Amino acid sequence: MTGPRPDPSHTDRWLSVIAATVVAGVIITTVTLWVTAPHGPASFSVVTATTEQRVEVKVRNTGGTVATDVVVRATFDDGTETDQTISWLSPGETSSLDFYAPNPDTTVEVTIISYVPDN
């Protein structure tokens, strides 16, 4: 830079303080969230809600790693099996799937058949 610089304005002074504070806040928030978050392999919680033949399945990744190609299998009481795949499930993310039972008021068992951990 050329020539002497004039004294900083009052605005610049408090902007410097605010800027330093918020950037430090961003870094501290990032580190804190990272340290306190779960970091284990992907794990899943499954909740089902059946309305006549429609079975709504909500799959949540409760682990700390992204899971891809999560294969969800619905097994109905007559032995019918149906698979659906969730392509991507981030930690804490919930994905909803709809299955349709062959008969009204049938019972269903939902299981996670496989997934690919994304490291």
Partner 1 sequence: MATWDDGVGRDMIRAGCGAALFGVPLLYTMELWWTGTGSSPAFSLGLLAAVLVAATVIDRTAGFRFAPERSWSSSLVDGVEVTGICIAVAAVVLVVIGEITPQTNVRESMSKVIAQLVPLVIGASIANEIFGNGSATPAEPGTGSGSGARQVGSLLGGAFVGAIVVALAIAPTDEVTIIAGRASLAHLLALIAVSLVASHGIVFSADFAGSSDLRRQRHLDELAHTALAYIVALIAAGVMLALYGRLTGVSVLTSWSRVIALGFPAAIGAAAGRLAL
Q: Structure tokens of 86?
A: 């969730």
Min CB(91)–partner 1 separation in Å: 5
- Binding part of the chain for partner 1, among 46-54, 73-81, 87-95, 108-116 by CB under 8 A, reads 87-95
Beta bridge partners of 95: 59
Q: Structure tokens of 28?
A: 């501290």
Cβ contacts of 102 within 8 Å, gap of 6 or more: 53, 76, 78, 80
Residue 30 CA to residue 36 CA, distance in Å, equals: 10
Pick between residue 9 and residue 105 the one whose CB is nearest to partner 1: 9
Pick between residue 23 and residue 47 the one whose CB is nearest to partner 1: 23
Cβ contacts of 40 within 8 Å, gap of 6 or more: 63, 64, 65
37 interacts with partner 1 by CB under 8 A? yes
19 interacts with partner 1 by CB under 8 A? yes
Q: Which of 40, 92, 102, 104 binds partner 1 (CB under 8 A)?
A: 92
28 interacts with partner 1 by CB under 8 A? no
State the Cα angle at 94 between 90 and 96, rounded to 5°.
130
Query: How many residues sit close enough to partner 1 to count as binding (CB under 8 A)?
Result: 35
List interacting residues with partner 1 (CB under 8 A).
1-3, 5-12, 15-16, 18-20, 22-23, 26-27, 29-31, 33-34, 37, 66, 88, 90-94, 118-119
